[in-house]
Every structure is written in structure tokens, then in C-alpha cells.
Structure 1
Amino acid sequence: MHGMLEKDDIIRGLRKLDAKALKAGVVVDLSIYGGAALALAFNIRHATRDVDAVVHSAPDFLRIAAAEVAAEEGWPADWLNDGVKGFTSSKEAMQLMEHFEASPSGGLRIEVPTPEYLFAMKCMAMRPEGLEGSHDISDIKALADHAGIQDVKTALSLVEAFYPSSLIPPKVRFGVEEIMEQVMRGREQE
């Protein structure tokens, strides 16, 4: 792997995890966020460095299975990680992902954020100062289009629907305003 997981790589890795869980008779509930969700559920991104996920069941099984998949594929050990935990909201809005719905006898059941929730998450996690390789701003713009967000007020209201206003830093508010102004200018030019 050259540092990036493409959509097909992610699907292959998840199918391997699904097969391992089914063989072991374990149901693994997993929420996938970030670039992987953008690639898998919304076709907004083609590749990502890792799969940001929160495990809701069978974490010990998944840790071992993910390490096996990493070894089989030659991927980094942290290809599947829970670094996103600090950005999830207690008001999250998720949807089941087709083709990964598990069966009572085992497998992987995956959910991804709605486009509105992922938009709010991306805004809260935004790295506007330009972390190398960061896609936050382009992801936010694409999600604004995907979710049909028309203006700054709606965008900020959406972030506040998932995160308490007191926890939204000024840099996020300013960033959202600037990004949405760019989105609206871009729409006017079309």
C-alpha cells in the first residue's frame, strides 16, 4: 500500500472482516466515519489514509481480525482505528450501509453518518490551517452540496443540531462561514 486506501481496498478489508466474523459466529457492530464513509456511502472521496471507526460490539475480536487483515494486505496496523471518537456527537444520526448488515449467526454490521451529521462532524474536526494531506475543506464543500445546504445560516444551524453551541469554537464558525461563502460563489458561477 502506498499510504492510501482506495474504496476497493476498504471494501475488500471490510469483506474480510465480515467473513472472519461470520466464521467465528460473532456479530460486529461498527460505525464508520471520515474519508472511508465519504468513499463508501457518498462516493465523494476515492481514497483515505485509514478507516475511522467506533466499535459497538466484539472489540477484542475486531482488534485481532483487523490485525490479521492488515498483515494479509500489507497495510499499517492502524488501518482501522478509533481516532474519531473525540468528534462523535451524542446526537449522532446514522444509517445502515447496504451489503454489511450481518446475519444473526455473525458478520459485520456497518453504519455510516447521514450526510448532514458527517457535514457537522467534518466542520468540528476541520483543520483549516492546512494539515498535510487534509481534505477537510473539500470534504465540507462536497457534503454541503450532497446534503443540499444552501447558506451559512443553515450550515451553522446544522452543526448546532449535533453539537452544543457552547462547544463550537469560533474558528469552526469562521471556517464554516468562509467555506459556505466559497460554495455559494461557486454555485453562482455555474
Structure 2
Amino acid sequence: MSEPGPLLDRAAIQEAFRRLGDRLARRGVVADIYVIGGAAMALAYDSRRSTRDIDAVFQPHGIVLEEARAVAVEIGLPPWWLNEQASAYVAPGGDATAPHVFDHPGLRVSAASPEHLLAMKVLAARRRDAEDISYLVKHLGLSNTAEALALCAAVFPDEPVPDRARMILEDLLGES
């Protein structure tokens, strides 16, 4: 990714998905997309949230990427608006409670559950995720760092929690 693209809010993401779904349906394809990161926040939890790209895991791979690039040209998005760059951060056990956030004859989209999103963002330990972490902690009714860390361990049992993540949580929860 070279230069930043436009900010995509919930309506812009839905429009891009509608166009992608139209293109896939015309080709007789029904794709499944699991979104994480900012797009999941915007679609499922915080309608005011926006993002520059959509981090996702999708099937079938090739045709979705091909049609996503065509949508990019159609509506002026960067070619990487839909990407799998964060797919390495998806929990290995799946996400059984991922809510469906967009349905179309050519496209089914689900978003990471709040538990999975929180665990991903905590383990990434980026200050820029602080607002999302705070929102998700409240959304899940967690009251302290120990509860948040236990959730992270349940979602990613083989991932050690960085010290920086613990410090961010303690700071956000007023425990520092």
C-alpha cells in the first residue's frame, strides 16, 4: 500500500460490498468474507467508525480479488481496499459467534465477534487501537485488565500477551 485511500464509513463499505456482490452474482459466485479490524468495528459495533481499507479473509480467493479490483476502478477506491494482510491475526479456532453484517445474493459478510476483535487489538498492542479497545471493553462488560487478558488467552491460547498490551489495558482501565 503506497498512498492512503479515502476513509470508508459504514455506508461506503456497504456500497462497495453491494457492487462486489453484484459482480460476483453475475458470474454465478457466492463468496464469503470475514472482516476484521476497522471494517468490523464500522459494520457491527460502532457506526461512526471509518477505515482506509477492509482487512478480511475470503473465499473463493482469486475471483473475489479480481472483482474487488474492478469495484476499486468503478468507484475510485485504491486497489487494496479489500485485502488479506491481517489474515495472520485471525484466531486459529475460528469465530463461531461472528455476526452476519451484510447479505447479498453474491456475497455473505460476517464481522469478527467483539471477543475476537478485542483479543486481536490487544495482542497487536498499538496505541492507535486504544479507542476501539476501550469501546470493546465496555461493550463486553469487562471491568479490569485481568478479565480482558483472560479473554485474550481464551481466543489466542498460544499467543503470549506483550507487556505493552498489558500497559495499554491498565492505562485504559485506570489501573496504572
* TM-score, length of structure 2 as denominator length: 0.88
Q: How many Å separate the matches in 2 of 1:41 and 1:125?
A: 20
Instruction: Name the counterpart of 1:188.
Output: none
1:33–1:53 CA contact under 8 A, matched in 2: yes
1:23, distance to aligned residue in structure 2 (A): 1.3
Q: One-letter code of the match for 1:82? A: E
**How big is the alpha-carbon RMSD for the aligned residues of Structure 1 and Structure 2?**
2.1
2:10–2:47 CA contact under 8 A, matched in 1: no
Identity %: 33
Q: How many Å separate the matches in 2 of 1:32 and 1:166?
A: 21
1:152–1:181 CA contact under 8 A, matched in 2: no
Instruction: Name the counterpart of 1:163.
Output: 156
2:43–2:101 CA contact under 8 A, matched in 1: no
Stretch deviating more after TM superposition (72-81 or 166-175): 166-175
Instruction: Name the counterpart of 1:12.
Output: 15
Paired residue total = 172
Indicate whether 1:126 and 2:119 are aligned: no
Q: How many Å separate the matches in 2 of 1:74 and 1:15?
A: 15
Partner of 1:32, secondary structure, is strand
Indicate whether 1:39 and 2:26 are aligned: no
Q: One-letter code of the match for 1:80? A: L
Change (3 A) 1:120 1:81: same
Instruction: List runs of 5+ in structure 2 lacking aligned partners.
Output: none
Q: How many Å separate the matches in 2 of 1:69 and 1:60?
A: 14
2:5–2:77 CA contact under 8 A, matched in 1: no
Q: How many Å separate the matches in 2 of 1:27 and 1:81?
A: 18
Instruction: Name the counterpart of 1:70.
Output: 72
* TM-score, length of structure 1 as denominator length: 0.82
Change (3 A) 1:165 1:90: closer
Change (3 A) 1:3 1:41: same
Instruction: Name the counterpart of 1:82.
Output: 84
Q: How many Å separate the matches in 2 of 1:174 and 1:60?
A: 40
Stretch deviating more after TM superposition (8-17 or 45-54): 45-54
Partner of 1:140, secondary structure, is helix
Partner of 1:41, secondary structure, is helix
Instruction: List runs of 5+ in structure 1 lacking aligned partners.
Output: 129-133, 186-190
| 2:93 aligns with one of 91, 94, 100 | 91
Q: How many Å separate the matches in 1 of 2:65 and 2:37?
A: 19
Indicate whether 1:22 and 2:25 are aligned: yes
Stretch deviating more after TM superposition (166-175 or 136-145): 166-175
Change (3 A) 1:98 1:78: closer
Cα deviation code 1:63-112 (max 9, x no counterpart): 11100110011111111111111211113424241441x55xxx111111
Q: How many Å separate the matches in 1 of 2:99 and 2:149?
A: 26
Q: How many Å separate the matches in 2 of 1:21 and 1:70?
A: 14
Partner of 2:93, secondary structure, is coil
